[in-house]
């Protein structure tokens, strides 16, 4: 085997829907990519009389992170096969019983969106292996510089999008307003891109979503909220919506600002991130670390912080804890190495989902 191309990723999703009609629903995302490609997601779960809480998992956001699509395709296939056959799952020392698989798909719905950025992945796999963004030329200004094409999808969500106002002047968030920034150009406005609008649409379509995981590489971390600053649970007024703190965010080890998170949410996020890391460790002994996004580097406009922020902006929305997996040590390792990474991360994701569903660990 080798890495899947974009046609093969889409074929895998549609084939799983056809093979498991009783426990899946194929979802067509409403907005085609800039180059006209239609994406699909897969809803997985046993039939239920009423909506169930949902775990949403997305991947293929950054084009050069090839293995994220494979991780999610294999994750979906493993769970569906185990549920239908009434068997458990074994990933090295990380094992899941048949009862746990049954309970997982009975108690939860999973929404799996393996390829958010098809245009970028195609460009990375055929032209520029290190390409990260989508392929939107709208803000390139007619420049002959190919770096000026594209937006970093994971900086395009509506969370502290105006980072030049939100962050301290000496902070160094990994985001840019320059269309010719090859890596982290945020776009002209939040949700300017069809790819991020598709993710928002999925969140609106599945309002019972309570947990969200965005699969990326690399660094062997499981990140959780927040990414703009260090966390604190003492002062609710010190939060991303309060303009009083504009110009103070993004600095480590200072007293001017820390992002508010209710203690129960902080504790639960750490618990779930730790469950992922323990599951991943049981396969090949890889030491994934649970930490807040800020402790990797400060950011704005990311998916995990956006999904968590929605409840604070509109209390009528359900609260969604946001996570980002950073798998492996390379963007596209040799396939033999990537096969091991797939097993590591899938074991972690299954343990994560079991922990959300309240299933006892073996």
End-to-end CA distance of the chain: 32
Q: What value, to the nearest 5°, has the Cα angle with vertex 233 and ends 254 and 223?
A: 80
In a domain, 1, yes or no: no
- Whether the Cβ atoms of residue 229 and residue 294 lie closer than 8 Å to each other: yes
The residue written with tokens 């323990």 in the block is 278
At 273-304, the pLDDT tens digits run 999 999 999 999 999 999 999 999 999 999 99
Q: What value, to the nearest 5°, has the Cα angle with vertex 80 and ends 74 and 82?
A: 100
CA–CA separation, 160 and 250 (whole Å): 11
The structure tokens listed for 33 are 């990519």
The residue written with tokens 């939040």 in the block is 190
Band (146; pLDDT cuts 50, 70, 90): confident
In a domain, 174, yes or no: yes
The number of domains in the chain is 1
The pLDDT value given to residue 56: 98
Whether residue 360 has pLDDT greater than 60: no
Among residues of the chain, what percentage have pLDDT more than 70?
Answer: 98
- Whether the Cβ atoms of residue 291 and residue 24 lie closer than 8 Å to each other: no
The pLDDT value given to residue 139: 84
CA–CA separation, 253 and 319 (whole Å): 28
Query: pLDDT averaged over the chain?
Result: 96
Band (361; pLDDT cuts 50, 70, 90): very low
Q: Is the peptide bond before 313 cis (omega within 30 degrees of 0)?
A: no
Helix segments in 53-183, DSSP class H: 67-85, 98-107, 118-126, 163-166
The pLDDT value given to residue 147: 80
Whether residue 141 has pLDDT greater than 80: no
Which bin fits 93, alpha (ψ -120 to 50), beta or left (φ > 0)?
alpha
The mean pLDDT value for 186-197 works out to 98
> Other CB atoms closer than 10 Å to residue 253's CB: what's the count?
5
Nearest to 16 by CA among 118, 116, 112, 89: 112
CA–CA separation, 146 and 123 (whole Å): 12
Band (118; pLDDT cuts 50, 70, 90): very high
The pLDDT value given to residue 343: 98
Whether residue 22 has pLDDT greater than 90: yes
Among residues of the chain, what percentage have pLDDT more than 90?
Answer: 94
In a domain, 177, yes or no: yes
CA–CA separation, 119 and 175 (whole Å): 21
Q: How many CA atoms lie within 13 Å of 34's alpha carbon, on the beta-carbon side?
A: 21
The mean pLDDT value for 304-309 works out to 98
Beta-strand relationship, 54-58 and 109-113: parallel
The pLDDT value given to residue 142: 67
CA–CA separation, 297 and 299 (whole Å): 6
The residue written with tokens 């991943």 in the block is 280
Band (140; pLDDT cuts 50, 70, 90): confident
CATH number, domain at 49?
Answer: 3.40.630.10
- Which helix or strand (DSSP H or E) is residue 180 part of? none
Nearest to 272 by CA among 316, 343, 224, 236: 224
pTM of the model: 0.97
Domain span holding position 174: 6-357
The pLDDT value given to residue 144: 67
């Amino acid at each position: 085997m080798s890495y899947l191309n974009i046609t093969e990723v889409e074929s895998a999703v549609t084939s799983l829907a056809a093979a498991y009609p009783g426990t899946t629903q194929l979802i067509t995302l409403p907005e085609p990519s800039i180059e006209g490609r239609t994406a699909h997601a897969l809803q997985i779960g046993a039939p239920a009389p009423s909506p169930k809480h949902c775990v949403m998992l997305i991947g293929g956001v950054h084009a050069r992170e090839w293995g994220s699509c494979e991780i999610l395709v294999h994750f979906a296939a493993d769970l569906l096969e185990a549920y239908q056959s009434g068997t458990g799952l074994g990933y090295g020392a990380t094992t899941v019983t048949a009862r746990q698989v049954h309970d997982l798909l009975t108690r939860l719905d999973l929404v799996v969106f393996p390829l958010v950025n098809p245009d970028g992945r195609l460009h990375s796999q055929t032209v520029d292996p290190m390409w990260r963004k989508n392929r939107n030329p709208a803000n390139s200004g007619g420049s002959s510089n190919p770096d000026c094409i594209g937006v970093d999808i994971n900086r395009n969500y509506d969370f502290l999008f105006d980072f030049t106002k939100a962050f301290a002047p000496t902070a160094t968030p990994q985001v840019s307003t320059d269309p010719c920034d090859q890596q982290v150009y945020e776009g002209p406005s939040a949700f300017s891109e069809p790819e991020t609008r598709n993710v928002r649409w999925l969140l609106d379509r599945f309002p019972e979503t309570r947990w969200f995981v965005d699969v990326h590489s690399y660094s062997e971390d499981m990140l959780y909220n927040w990414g703009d600053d260090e966390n604190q649970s003492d002062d609710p007024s010190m939060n991303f919506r309060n303009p009083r703190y504009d110009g103070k965010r993004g600095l480590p080890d200072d007293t001017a600002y820390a992002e508010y998170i209710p203690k129960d949410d902080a504790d639960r996020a750490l618990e779930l991130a730790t469950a992922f890391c323990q599951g991943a460790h049981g396969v090949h002994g890889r030491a994934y670390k649970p930490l807040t996004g800020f402790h990797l580097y400060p950011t704005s406009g990311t998916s995990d912080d956006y999904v968590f922020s929605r409840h604070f902006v509109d209390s009528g929305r359900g609260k969604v804890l946001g996570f980002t997996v950073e798998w492996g040590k390379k963007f596209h390792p040799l396939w033999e190495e990537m096969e091991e990474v797939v097993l590591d991360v899938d074991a972690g994701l299954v343990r994560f989902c079991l922990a959300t569903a309240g299933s006892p660990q073996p």
